[in-house]
Amino acid sequence: MRTLVVEDDLSTRRLVREVLERQGIEVYEACNVEEAMIALGERPADIVILDVTLPCGSGIEILTNLRQAGVASHVIVLSGASNEHDQVRAFELGADDYLVKPFSTRELTARVLAVRRRQRDSETSVLRFDGLEIDLSAARVLVHGRVVELPAKELALLAFLAVRPGHVFSRAQLLRAVWDSDPEWQSEATVTEHISRLRKKLAPGSDGPSVLHTVPGGGYRFDPPLDGAALDHRNEPGAMMFVGGVVVAADDAASELFGAPGPDALVGRHITDLISELVAAGSVDAALQRLALSAEGAEPRSQVLLFTRSEGRDVAVEVTTSPAMWDGRAALRLSLRRAVDESAHIRYLFTGVLSDLADAVIVTDMHDHIRSWNPGAERVYGWGEAEVLGRHINDVVVWAGSDEALTSARAEIEATGHWHGQGRQITRDGFTIAVQTTTNIVRDENGGAMGIVSVNRPVDLAMVASQAEPPAGDVADLRRGIAAGELIVHYQPIVDLAGRFIYAVEALVRWQHPARGLVGPDEFIPIAERCGLIGDIGAFVLEEACRQVGTWRNDGLNLTLAVNLSPKELADPGLVDRLETTASASGFDLHALWLEVTESALVEDVATAREQLHRLTALGVGISIDDFGTGWASLTYLREFPVHLLKIDRSFVRGIQHDTSAAAIASSIISLAAELKLFVVAEGIETEAEAKFLQALGCSIGQGYLFGHPTPAGVVDLSRVRPLLEPDRPVRQPAT
Ligand code: C2E
Ligand code: MG
Ligand code: MG
């Protein structure tokens, strides 16, 4: 079986040759149209793998020449474009199969092996997969040796898809190919119905994965059952095996990636030492936590890590961790692949912080191919990461409703780099869900686009509607309470974890209600935000806290004040003027003020938020991001806004010493803050164990009941206020 690879990129050509040769397939190469035609003239190929874009000419030209000359080779076209127009054109010109770049070598191998299988069985026309046998001439299908009766059309449908494994066909295409009819006069539902019958017949009573996959908005795809070693991703180069944390085997590609002299130099090393030595500074803990986490999962998961090679160069490596066996013992396998695309860096940054969020976090490259798909996305859409990597986002995340809405969102992303809004999408099971979406182009320091990150949070529309108007009675009561001076401010210390000195206090508002007692902000701030009273509350807290902390500072206490700002307040154009007036009235030095904003406050109107934050920082105010890790595409904002401090949400702090997932997130946030030179504060520390653990992760500032509850000004224990002058706040200038 001979395969010609026509591809101008040397590394892709070599990679394809290597994986195919390992399957015993003879491979020869060409890098342009002329070379390909000469090579084919000398030695005909059973399979031609054809890159569409070639220097001086196109793969399409070769395809046309081949078919005109009546050559019957099986042609697999490789192309960077995934739009249907190109696919249809390639098929019309006689291509047999089609792969969108970047493709996985595993998928390519599967398709080549399917052709070989077919050719071997060509006398009897039998397609054989693991547990599934399709005998075309005898019109018979066997599942694990059991005959399954199928009507002619269903057999034809199954055969058509099985001959082209891994390829998506729309219902219209299948109608044309199998029923020989046009969707105009035969309903596409016919196809849906027969696919569903086929599924039941092939795997009766099974909820497990079917060989016939539905691709939302795309159509159907045949995914051959894995037949053992032949399709195992483990056959790809770049692998290391660990037993009890120690390297027991490594291949040449793995040692080459690390810049080690050979596999022997890696064997015997401990994973912790290896990672500490090789992973780019600042991310070691996060990397180890993530590796440990993914090792526990049954599904192999991938992440991008930055490794510093022995000669000092950083390389981005895609690391897939999976449980394995070695000599009868439980082992951990790392599959390593050099990440060469431009989105590798954002995948690296996003690994950890966002990958464990409940929201769907999807990273694509600038050509809209999916590069990262977190467990949240798996839950929301029903697709596994392995099924969607490399695919066009529109094939997988299908928007319901008008095309215009999507087009205008796209236009906005192109013009501004951002989009935030609500829409409806279709999940794998065909359900329509409503989502709140934040999409951003992520840029490098020089402003170059690296990739696109979307965070999609499913929302309950009925709930959103019911929240729109708070009950009139509650509003009137709150308005009365504000006027009657029932609001009070409590202060909670923020301390330096090592010395336990108080560094700052956070002002937290409460409502001393005549009938209900002391009411917490979570009960009335949301109402105030919806009825327009939030401005009054914010102004009161700011004035009161500046006055109080100003008094303490005048008494010689070196205290910083942290005040929460709601999204509505941040959007208020009068904010900066009001702040200046308040500060000058009380003589408060604005360099001693931190304003805490949430990520959602930043995404709603990015341009306004950015302008406001710049005006605030120009006055000397520090900006912190509250509840960090729970919000939207956080990292994007760090680069875009002048931000000084991150507050790790308390949900990642509670029980952190026992919760590997929380620890991984906290540790990623801490490494990230270190890389971006930001302060980081852990919220909600209640126990010594939590404080110690966070300190070990590199977090130096904390807040929580362990150090003090929020209390009225007269009760706050200020005996241990930080005696030193506040260190210079690190200021990051956003990328322009
Ligand atoms: P936040 O800004 O994240 O404030 C921290 C919250 O965590 C406070 O709740 C605090 O009492 C609580 N907390 C602190 N340490 C611990 C701990 O060790 N364990 C636990 N379980 N909780 C701890 P609080 O005071 O109920 O405030 C809730 C939220 O209300 C605040 O979250 C903030 O978003 C908002 N808020 C409070 N005051 C204001 C205000 O003046 N203006 C605005 N816009 N929002 C405010
Ligand atoms: Mg806060
Ligand atoms: Mg918070």
Cα–Cα dist 631/669, whole Å? 13
pLDDT at 84: 56
pLDDT at 357: 61
Q: What is the mean pLDDT of residues 449-461?
A: 80
pLDDT surpasses 90 at 685 = yes
Q: What are phi and psi of 728, to 5 degrees?
A: -60, 135
∠ CA(694), CA(695), CA(699), 5° rounding?
A: 75
Question: What residue has token string 């906290």?
Answer: 666
Cα–Cα dist 178/657, whole Å? 58
Instruction: Count CB neighbours of 607 within 10 A.
Output: 9
Task: Return the residue whose CA atom lies nearest to atom 7 of ligand 1.
Answer: 684
Q: Is 454 in the pocket of ligand 1 (CB under 6 A)?
A: no
Q: Return the structure tokens found at 50.
A: 């054809």
Asked whether the beta carbons of 336 and 233 are under 8 A apart, the reply is: no
Q: Return the structure tokens found at 220.
A: 């159907």
Q: Is 705 in the pocket of ligand 1 (CB under 6 A)?
A: yes
Q: Which of 29-33, 102-106, 144-148 has the lowest mean pLDDT?
A: 102-106
Q: How far is the CA of 574 from the centre of ligand 2 (A)?
A: 22
The separation between the first and the last C-alpha atoms of the chain, rounded to the nearest angstrom, is 54
pLDDT surpasses 50 at 733 = no
Question: What residue has token string 């869900």?
Answer: 433
∠ CA(658), CA(664), CA(669), 5° rounding?
A: 130
pLDDT at 93: 81
Angle between helices 472-483 and 534-554 (to 10 degrees): 30
Write out pLDDT tens, residues 384-396: 777 787 788 887 8
Question: How far from the centroid of its chain's Cα atoms is residue 262's Cα?
Answer: 34
Q: Give the closest ligand to the alpha carbon of residue 653.
A: 1
Task: Return the residue whose CA atom lies nearest to atom 25 of ligand 1.
Answer: 508
Instruction: Count CB neighbours of 149 within 10 A.
Output: 10
Q: Is 564 in the pocket of ligand 1 (CB under 6 A)?
A: yes
Q: How far is the CA of 289 from the centre of ligand 3 (A)?
A: 24
Q: What are phi and psi of 375, to 5 degrees?
A: -60, -30
pLDDT at 671: 78
Q: Give the closest ligand to the alpha carbon of residue 525.
A: 1
Write out pLDDT tens, residues 144-190: 888 988 888 888 899 888 877 666 788 888 888 787 776 667 778 88
Q: How far is the CA of 317 from the centre of ligand 2 (A)?
A: 37
Give the atom of ligand 1 at the shortest distance from the alpha carbon of 647. Answer: 3
Question: Residue 453 — pLDDT band, cuts 50, 70, 90?
Answer: confident
Q: Which of 111-125, 168-182, 357-371, 644-658 has the lowest mean pLDDT?
A: 111-125
Question: What residue has token string 């474009």?
Answer: 81
Cα–Cα dist 438/452, whole Å? 10
The closest of 385, 106, 390 to 236, measured between CA atoms, is: 106
Q: Is 525 in the pocket of ligand 1 (CB under 6 A)?
A: yes
Q: Is 134 in the pocket of ligand 1 (CB under 6 A)?
A: no
Q: Which of 195-199, 283-287, 328-332, 502-506 has the lowest mean pLDDT?
A: 283-287
Asked whether the beta carbons of 496 and 723 are under 8 A apart, the reply is: no
DSSP lists the bridge partners of residue 518 as 512
Tell me the C-alpha to C-alpha distance, in Å, between residue 468 and each of 18, 448, 471, 644.
60, 40, 10, 33
Q: How far is the CA of 679 from the centre of ligand 2 (A)?
A: 15
Q: Is 595 in the pocket of ligand 1 (CB under 6 A)?
A: no
pLDDT at 546: 96
Q: How far is the CA of 499 from the centre of ligand 2 (A)?
A: 22
3-state secondary structure 414-461: HHHCEEEEEEEEECCCCCEEEEEEEEEEEECCCCCEEEEEEEEEEECH
The DSSP line for 29-63 is EESSHHHHHHHHHHS--SEEEEESEETTEEHHHHH
Most confident of the ranges 361-375, 512-526, 711-725: 512-526
Q: How far is the CA of 276 from the centre of ligand 1 (A)?
A: 37
Q: Is 686 in the pocket of ligand 1 (CB under 6 A)?
A: yes
The DSSP H or E segment spanning 246 is strand 246-250
Write out pLDDT tens, residues 576-631: 999 999 999 989 999 999 999 987 777 767 788 889 999 999 999 999 999 887 65
Question: What's the chain's average pLDDT?
Answer: 81
Higher-scoring residue by pLDDT: 472, 293: 472
Cα–Cα dist 653/631, whole Å? 16
Q: Give the closest ligand to the alpha carbon of residue 529.
A: 1
Cα–Cα dist 338/275, whole Å? 16
Q: Give the closest ligand to the alpha carbon of residue 538.
A: 1
Q: Is 294 in the pocket of ligand 1 (CB under 6 A)?
A: no
The residue whose CB lies within 8 Å of the most ligand 1 atoms, and thus the one to mutate among 683, 705, 711, is: 683
pLDDT surpasses 80 at 675 = no
pLDDT surpasses 50 at 500 = yes
- Beta strand pairing call for 239-243 and 47-51: unpaired
Q: Which of 94-108, 128-142, 553-567 has the lowest mean pLDDT?
A: 94-108
The closest of 113, 97, 381 to 226, measured between CA atoms, is: 113
Asked whether the beta carbons of 594 and 561 are under 8 A apart, the reply is: yes
∠ CA(430), CA(432), CA(437), 5° rounding?
A: 125
Q: How far is the CA of 594 from the centre of ligand 2 (A)?
A: 10
Cα–Cα dist 218/387, whole Å? 14
Instruction: Count CB neighbours of 83 within 10 A.
Output: 12
Higher-scoring residue by pLDDT: 668, 711: 711
Write out pLDDT tens, residues 557-578: 999 999 999 988 998 889 999 9
Asked whether the beta carbons of 266 and 247 are under 8 A apart, the reply is: yes
Q: Give the closest ligand to the alpha carbon of residue 702.
A: 1
The DSSP line for 697-718 is HT--EEESTTT---EEGGG---
Q: What is the mean pLDDT of residues 359-388?
A: 82
Q: Is 566 in the pocket of ligand 1 (CB under 6 A)?
A: yes
Higher-scoring residue by pLDDT: 551, 346: 551
Write out pLDDT tens, residues 335-356: 887 876 666 666 666 655 555 5
pLDDT surpasses 70 at 56 = yes
Task: Return the residue whose CA atom lies nearest to atom 45 of ligand 1.
Answer: 564
Instruction: Count CB neighbours of 51 within 10 A.
Output: 24
Task: Return the residue whose CA atom lies nearest to atom 20 of ligand 1.
Answer: 684
Q: How far is the CA of 708 from the centre of ligand 2 (A)?
A: 15
Task: Return the residue whose CA atom lies nearest to atom 17 of ligand 1.
Answer: 684
DSSP lists the bridge partners of residue 51 as 78
Q: Give the closest ligand to the alpha carbon of residue 594.
A: 2
Which residues have CB under 8 Å from 441's CB, separation 6+? 413, 417, 418, 449, 451, 452
Asked whether the beta carbons of 616 and 610 are under 8 A apart, the reply is: no
SS3 content of the chain, % helix, strand, coil (to 5): 40, 25, 35
Q: Is 708 in the pocket of ligand 1 (CB under 6 A)?
A: no
pTM over the 0.85 mark: no
pLDDT at 519: 95
Q: How far is the CA of 573 from the centre of ligand 2 (A)?
A: 22
